[in-house]
Structure 1
Amino acid sequence: MAKMQIKPQERSIVKLECLRLLATLRLDPARMQLISGFIDSYLRLNIQEEQLFQTQLSTLGIVQQEEVMKIVTSWMEQGRQEGKQEGRQEEAQSLILRLLNRRIGAFDAQLQAQIQQLSLSQLENLDEALLDFSDTSDLITWLEQHLSSN
């Protein structure tokens, strides 16, 4: 923005124009998401700028408003999905740590850190495997097998 000599107070206008133009291009959804993600990343608006953006959006014709809002809504939906995924992963980690503690007793922080690095699908595999664990060595073996395969 600085190299383009765009004033900070014009950020909301620039973002709106970028989205308006993007909406007119009729790109496939993958390209649309890539470009709109770029716009959103580099033109993050503060609360005041966001209010100005909404005011300026309302001055567009109804068809253009709908097209721009489809793009903005897709960002919000993606953010919600990512938030849900992160929440599920944190819940799974917490549950597995409690189950492991109950099944094999206390274990060191290094093993706990390794468990917290597992993906959701790895956590789902671990939740079944831990039923067969009898001590910490079973957990260590499982982690070695599943972390080395990535």
Structure 2
Amino acid sequence: MPLLQTEVADTGLVGREAFLAGYGAAQAVPGPLFTFAAYLGAVMQTPPSGILGAIIALMAIFVPSALLILGGLPFWSRLRTAPLAQPALSGIDAAVVGLLAATLYGTVFSEGITSSVAMAIAAAAFVALTAWRAPAWAIVIEAGMVGFLTL
């Protein structure tokens, strides 16, 4: 996420508002990074954009991980049961959680939450998602409508 922000939003290929809107919408669907990459490719302000840009961005984000999986899959079951690898894998899990938290703060809170009303909407959406177990897609739509009407 920070890499995408640096490469597309900070360089002006995609406006900050479009970047944050796409990031928020992508969180409501499965595979948010792939969806977000396709969105960014579609809304690029320089060619290729549109459907061609979406396809190129989707391939650019999908192919490296697919190749990594294909290359590492034969070794995965042995690695995951190796006594020395288990602590490392736990550390990697913790690092991923930390990176996601840093992205949430760096992208959403520092740039997306710009007022107390926006914070209240975000807090209400969080409560609806975690305590009431409302579907993510419904929360995105409802928070978007409330934000449109109040902000």
Q: By the TM > 0.5 criterion, same fold?
A: no
